[in-house]
Structure 1
Amino acid sequence: MANDQHLIETRVESERVFDGALLHINRDTVRLPDGGLATREYVLHPGAVMVIPVLDDGRLLMERQFRYPLDRVFIEFPAGKLDPDETPLACGQRELLEETGYTARDWDYLGVLHPIISYTTEEIHLFIARGLTAGEARLDEGEFVETVAMGMDELVDGVRSGRITDAKTVSGLFWLQHRATR
């Protein structure tokens, strides 16, 4: 936007309050645009990639995976975190192979998604993968994933009914529909 200065908060000091294997949490003091001070707590995340694998028949390759924080199995697109110094494309290729066993001939970058702008630095790069070749999954130790092929109508119905609620997957479906109608 032309001039955002009247909205900008400036960091005064920063404190690391948690250092985990994946996530780190900071608590910062910021100066508000009106000169006042406020506290901001947020999660530092290394970033991630989500892949929308399109099978030759047009169906989408999805995953069913238990997500511990919400105590349920979710239907979602393959995704995973970026390793240090890894490009988003390399991460997408690695995650697709590890989680589904598939490789792709064609990769189309869609853009970036910021899933929770209020308390995390996470950004997720989105790719469409086509020209898929099946292989053997290489799941990480302790990772349990089931793949399933689903049609676009079935997935959209799943979003509308509340059966599919994963934000990155819902956004990916929107991106894919937008690409199909351009």
Structure 2
Amino acid sequence: MKPLPTVHGQEDLDFGGRFKVERLDLEFSNGARRIYERMKPRGRGAVIVVPMRDADTVLLVREYACGVHRYELGLVKGRIDPGETPEQAADRELKEEAGYGARKLEVVRAMTLAPTYMSHQTHLVLASDLYPEKLEGDEPEPLDVVPWRLDALDELMLREDVSEGRSLAALFIARELLWKRSKA
């Protein structure tokens, strides 16, 4: 494995507070030097939750997605607030968005969106042993909760209203993990 590039300098760039960008002066093992810029996360990252209603059924939510100006079907997700663990954030978001809590929460792995220029990480959390509990969230309207069978992910991945890569990746990772566990 190659050694990591040497950092000769770093500088925070100010874009009016909306985005945090860091400029890095890097030298690679072959002597090449480059300037890279990366977006730095605000806060402690995010969670994406795979809430299992039962062994075969995940709960999805339908919410307005401003970036594409339509309603999207996907997984519960949100920021990790200061002082929260990924498990606590996942349970809170699940209660706010889907109206369920989880007695069992497992962080499966961290995922990145665009690791070549963003350091933001989203923690995939598997939630099971659900029970009804609703918390007030920041959504402007109640979200639709849609049960979906894991054995029908091939149908879900081709729907026009399911386009978020994190949700798709998390669903396939969770399905494979649960399938392997059921065979053990």
TM-score, scaled relative to structure 1: 0.84
Counterpart mapping for 1:18-167 below 5 A = 18=15, 20=17, 23-45=19-41, 46-56=44-54, 58-140=56-138, 142=140, 145-161=143-159, 163-167=161-165
Is the Cα–Cα contact under 8 Å of residues 101 and 138 in structure 1 kept in the other structure? no
Question: In the alignment, residue 13 of structure 1 is paired with which amino acid?
Answer: G
Residues 56/74 of structure 1: CA separation in 2 closer, same or farther (3 Å cut): same
State the SS of the aligned residue for 1:20.
Answer: coil
Alpha carbon RMSD of aligned pairs, Å?
A: 2.3
**In 2: Cα distance, 1:89 partner to 1:180 partner:** 18
Is the Cα–Cα contact under 8 Å of residues 60 and 73 in structure 2 kept in the other structure? yes
Q: Give how far 1:121 is off.
A: 0.7
What runs of 5+ residues in structure 2 fail to find an aligned partner? none
Number of aligned residue pairs: 177
Percent identity (aligned): 25
State the SS of the aligned residue for 1:138.
Answer: coil
Is the Cα–Cα contact under 8 Å of residues 59 and 151 in structure 1 kept in the other structure? yes
- Deviation per residue, 1:22-66 (Å, 9 max, x gap): x42222222232223212111112311111111137321111122
The residue that corresponds to 2:5 in the other structure is: 9
Question: In the alignment, residue 94 of structure 2 is paired with which amino acid?
Answer: L
Is the Cα–Cα contact under 8 Å of residues 100 and 137 in structure 1 kept in the other structure? no
Q: Give how far 1:85 is off.
A: 3.3
Structure showing the higher strand proportion among its residues:
2
Question: In the alignment, residue 140 of structure 1 is paired with which amino acid?
Answer: D
What runs of 5+ residues in structure 1 fail to find an aligned partner? none
